[in-house]
Amino acid sequence: MSGSPLIGARAEHPLYGQLRPVTPHASVLLADNPGVMTLDGTNTWVLRAPDSDTCVVVDPGPDDETHLRRVAACGPVAEVLLTHGHPDHAEGARRFASLVGAPVRALDPALRLGSEGLAHGDVIARAGLEIRVLGTPGHTADSLCFVVESEAVLTGDTVLGRGTTVVAHPDGKLADYFDSLRLLADLPSGTAVLPGHGPELADAGDAARAYLAHREQRLEQVRAAVDSLGGSPTPRQVVEIVYADVDRVLWPAAEWSVRAQLEYLRTHG
């Protein structure tokens, strides 16, 4: 689940059901689940070296049989990786694993199908590729990113291709999210962003620094709103001030981030 707006989601996207090459080692298949929280839909990533007979699939997406079978047709699949456990990314993982006969690896043990999990610093050697795991909590506690051959990073909902994401309080923590964005900001220049929603971006460092600046600006706005309201305002009261110029359909999602910001202010000042 992301948090960047798509108002009036399109009924049909020209790329639904089409495997689209993005880098020499990564292609994307867009799930047909557009919405306010998912933009045009969930990006399911298929990773493989040009000479590999197998692939790695990241985020099979929702439990949509048509989408899952389209992804399965890209196989054989060596492994399935999850960036985090939100349903728009992981709900279809169990069914997909049964279709392709591959293990599912994730940080959260509850999401795994197989004996091996994932953790920060792990290196996965599959489908002719080296995939490095980054622990990037903040959007959720179990959020991971995957660096592929030092050319691109799959960011799930940590960085989106358009707009900004939600810090999904109480599972997501703003302090963790700041640390994760700083980690991404330190990736080598030219590392492409392959997000969980929206189009790819040219440079992870630039995107992460822009996210940091936006979050810091929002935090100052929340601090000012709390000061002006006095006492212990509710997250909704803060949203009505800070997000007054944002479509109200997004206010429930904004409340999650405001709760995370309020907690941050209580614990970090």
Six token digits for residue 29: 């298949």
Class of the CATH domain delimited by 19-212: alpha beta
Alpha-carbon distance of 269 to 252, in angstroms, equals: 25
Alpha helices in 74-141 (DSSP H): 87-90, 93-100
Closest CA to 201 of 216, 187, 219: 187
- Estimate to the nearest angstrom the gap between the alpha carbon of 153 and the chain centroid: 11
Q: What pLDDT is recorded for position 7? A: 28
H or E segment and range at residue 224: helix 204-229
Q: What pLDDT is recorded for position 37? A: 87
Q: What pLDDT is recorded for position 246? A: 86
Maximum pairwise Cα distance, the chain: 63
Domains in the chain: boundaries: 19-212
pLDDT block averages, 10 residues each, the chain of length 269: 37 79 97 92 97 98 98 97 98 98 97 93 98 98 97 98 92 96 98 97 98 96 94 93 89 91 90
Alpha-carbon distance of 113 to 106, in angstroms, equals: 9
The answer, yes or no, to whether the previous bond of 235 is cis (omega within 30 of 0) is no
Is-contact 225 262, C-beta < 8 A?
A: no
Q: What pLDDT is recorded for position 15? A: 85
Q: What pLDDT is recorded for position 225? A: 95
**b/e map 93-126, b = 16+ CB within 10 Å:** beebbebbebebbbbbeebbeeeeebeeebebeb
Q: What pLDDT is recorded for position 247? A: 85
